Structure formats: structure tokens, C-alpha cells
Amino acid sequence: MSDISELYQQVILDHNKKPRNFRKLESANREQEGYNPLCGDQLTLYLEMDGKVIKDIGFQGSGCAISKASASMMTAAVKGKTKDEAEVLFDEFHRMVKGELDPEKEENHLGRLTILSGVREYPARVKCASLSWHTLHAALENKDEAVSTE
């Protein structure tokens, strides 16, 4: 096993066991549901927006290890960021897991999120990893409908 895939496994396991921001946010002023019917992942995302800033964020739900770890990492990455900064991360993350952005070669803002680039080797898992990001995107756009990856 290469160092990268070992790191990938460790990070997924760690976030799955101790997900960050895994709670219902009482102060939330936006709430968004997301589903990935292909795998059965489901999550509810809570955002407390202060103008254009994501002041606080939380999520609850159930799903596979990758969906949960990715949601955990997503909340940690966007907390305190502006809507525009979060949208840039959404775009970069989405392109990375689809294999359109190589974080080693292209400039990006992903930081630790690049660990999840390993998911592009597993096409069936791409939707698990991107579910929370699609849900965030919809929450920031203030869409009322539940998000489905299908």
C-alpha cells in the first residue's frame, strides 16, 4: 500500500470515528437535506450564516465511512469562511474527486481535503464523497428542495 492510500485510510477512519461538527445546530438559520440513493447516504446540514460568513456549521445523518468522513472534513474546512470562499472549495473539491483537477499540479485551496483525492480511483464512491459538498452548495444557494446525487 502506498503512503498516500495509507494516509487516506487513516483519515477516513479517524473522521468516521470522531466526526467533527456532528451535531444539530440550534442557532442554524439554514437547513438542507442531502441523499445519495446509490449508497444510502443521508445527511442534514445546519448552517448559521452571519451575512456572507459561515459562522457555524453542523451535520447529522447516516451513511458509509466515506460520506461521513467527507462531511466531517467539509464542515471543518468551511467553518468561518465566506460563501464565495466555500463555493471555490466546492468547485475545486468536485473537480478533484472527478479527476479533473490534479491537486499536485494545479494551484488550489484544498489543503487537507486533498487527502480525499484518492476517491477518484473508486468511481462508485465519488458521490459519497461529494454529497455533503452538493448539500452545502444548495444550502448556500438557499434551495428548498432536498439534494439528491442522482
Residue 67 binds to Zn ion (criterion: CB under 5 A): yes
Under rule CB under 5 A, how many of the chain's residues touch Zn ion? 5
Least distance to Zn ion from the beta carbon of 65, Å?
8
Q: What are the φ/ψ torsions at residue 134 (nearest 5 degrees)?
A: -65, -40
Q: Which residues contact residue 115 at a Cβ distance below 8 angstroms, ignoring those fewer than 6 apart?
A: 4, 7, 8, 11
Pick 47 or 69: Cβ nearer Zn ion = 69
Stretch near Zn ion under the rule CB under 5 A, chosen from 10-18, 41-49, 53-61, 81-89 = 41-49
Select the residue interacting with Zn ion from 28, 54, 64, 116 (CB under 5 A).
64
For residues 19 and 72, is the Cβ–Cβ distance under 8 A?
A: yes
As measured in angstroms, the least distance from the Cβ of 128 to Zn ion is 3
Using a 10 angstrom Cβ sphere, with 0-12 exposed, 13-18 middle and 19 or more buried, the burial of residue 78 is buried
Nearer to Zn ion, 64 or 139 (CB): 64
Residue 65 touching Zn ion (CB under 5 A)? no
Contacts with 111 (C-beta within 8 Å, 6 or more apart), sequence order: 77
Contact positions toward Zn ion, by CB under 5 A? Answer: 39, 41, 64, 67, 128
